[in-house]
Amino acid sequence: MTREDLIKITGQHLLFLGIPAYSWSIAQFQEAAKFARAHDVQTLFVKTHDGTLPWYQDIGGWHAVRQTILNEGVGAIPYTYSYGNKLGALDAEIDILIAHMQDSGIVCMDAEEEWNGQPSWAQHLCSRVQGQSGVFLVSTWADPSLQNWLGVIRALAPCVDVWMPQQYSNFLATCWTEFGINGVDWLQPTINLTQDFGPNNPVQIATDAAGQGHTAISVWYCDTAVANPGLLDQVYAAFPKENSVKTYGPNSSDFNSYFTENSDGSWTCRQTGASIIGDNLKLYCQLSIDGQTLPIIGLPREGEQYLSDHHSIQRFERAVLTWNPDDPTDQQPGLGPSHLAFINMPDTLREDLGQLAILNNSTQNAWQALMAKIYLDANLPSS
């Protein structure tokens, strides 16, 4: 698996939800996802099983939790804590891992002291997981030689796509080369924001991780992140995300043929006179195939048309963008307040138009004219 593939699948700024999530409500997962999005977290790791014990059964299980997080525009990866064969349930644990790989496309196994010095368990796990569809991550000790894990790493290396060493102190962060010399290709270090494991400079560890070429960093865990949001932001800033999306802008080859960049950063279309601003502009920049040619939705036909102070639409030649920061259920996963409008958007606008009775006649007439244009362009019936 290539570096680019891994980054696309996991993201680069990750955050674990810890043990307290065991008793969370759906609303608490929603709040955690909102916090994550506000702090540039692309993906949350959610514990789904302790050994073979499933979590969240009283709130709909993993799938309900996952969908809640995705609805906020944040990714979600399931992880389990593994006891190996200590309780005689290794195969049952492996069944859970494989089920997640098949269902969610990815899973992380947190394996620690129970696995110390157990290469035979690792060989058995590898024999069952290798060749399965999906991505397999392992979170474990950052100092494998001190934990009698080198044989375990070598046995698991053929089936593990990414290793997540728990670099919870300055010392632990120095042991990362032990993975590479034992068959590991990719690391995504996990960083702790506290001093619980000895002297710890999480910002420097994140900086070093970026310099070492690792594909991502994660932070353990949500509660300490919420308590230290400023430090969390510094950690992620020290590990810049790679721009895998080629964006369109003033340096693109055909930009000057279509747009003028204004002093406030907005763009005005030379052909139509319409401007693109704010969140709509951020999304528009990402819709070019190669970053050099005009975005695929074409030129703006008008500026933003506001349904309310926090809801607008803007028509382009080949699509309609809608901006609606107050309604996350209307947003597409992975996008911000601006996104492509639903195909049935005119029906939604018909309902909103009915709420404009308090406005003066000229405003209503303007909206009715806009509606007529939308229905005409969409070839939809007007009633």
What is the percent of the chain with per-residue pLDDT over 90, rounded to a whole number? 73
Tell me the average pLDDT of the chain. 89
Which tokens is 285 given? Answer: 């920049």
List all residues 6 or more positions away from 104 whose beta carbon is below 8 Å from its beta carbon. Answer: 66, 76, 77, 78, 134
**Confidence (pLDDT) at 330:** 60
Q: By the 8 A CB rule, do 142 and 115 touch? A: no
358 pLDDT above the threshold of 60:
no
Q: What pLDDT digit, counting tens, does each position of 290-322 carry?
A: 777 899 999 999 999 998 888 899 999 999 999
pLDDT tens readout for residues 324-354: 887 765 666 666 788 888 766 554 444 444 4
Return the pLDDT at 332: 64
Q: Enumerate the domain spans of the chain.
A: 3-237, 245-341, 344-383
Question: How many C-alpha atoms does 156 have within 13 Å on its Cβ side?
Answer: 27
Q: In angstroms, how far apart are the furthest CA atoms of the chain?
A: 79
pLDDT for the residue 54: 97
Token pair 């008793």 is found at: 23
Assign 377 a pLDDT band (cuts: 50, 70, 90): low
Which band of pLDDT confidence, cut at 50, 70 and 90, is reported for residue 356? very low
Count CA within 13 A, CB hemisphere, residue 246: 11
**Neighbour count for residue 201 (Cβ, 10 Å):** 14
Q: What are φ and ψ of residue 78, in 5° steps?
A: -75, 145
CATH 3.40.250.10 fits 3-237, yes or no: no
Q: What is the pLDDT of residues 2-35, one digit of tens each?
A: 888 899 899 999 999 999 999 999 999 999 999 9
Instruction: State the average pLDDT over residues 258-272.
Output: 93
- Per-residue pLDDT band at 247 (split at 50, 70, 90): confident
- Spatial distance between the Cα atoms of 60 and 58, rounded to a whole number of angstroms: 6
The pLDDT confidence band at residue 198, using thresholds 50, 70 and 90, is very high
Q: Minimum mean pLDDT among 43-47, 92-96, 277-281, 343-347: which range? A: 343-347
pLDDT at 57 over 60: yes
Q: pLDDT for 120-164, tens place per residue? A: 999 999 999 999 999 999 999 999 999 999 999 999 999 999 999
Q: Give the per-residue pLDDT at 289.
A: 84
Q: What confidence category does residue 226 fall into, taking pLDDT thresholds of 50, 70 and 90?
A: very high
pLDDT in tens, 65-87: 999 999 998 999 999 999 999 99
Residue type, 277: I
pLDDT surpasses 80 at 246: no
**Residue 328 pLDDT:** 60
186, pLDDT greater than 70: yes
The answer to which of 55-69, 81-95, 181-195, 282-296 has the lowest mean pLDDT is: 282-296
One DSSP character per residue, 25-91 reads -HHHHHHHHHHHHHTT--EEEEEEEETTEE--GGGTHHHHHHHHHHHTT-EEEEEEEE-TTTTS-HH
Bigger pLDDT: 352 or 266? 266
256: pLDDT strictly greater than 70: yes
pLDDT tens digits, 99-117: 999 999 999 999 999 999 9
Reply yes or no on whether the pLDDT at 362 is more than 60: no
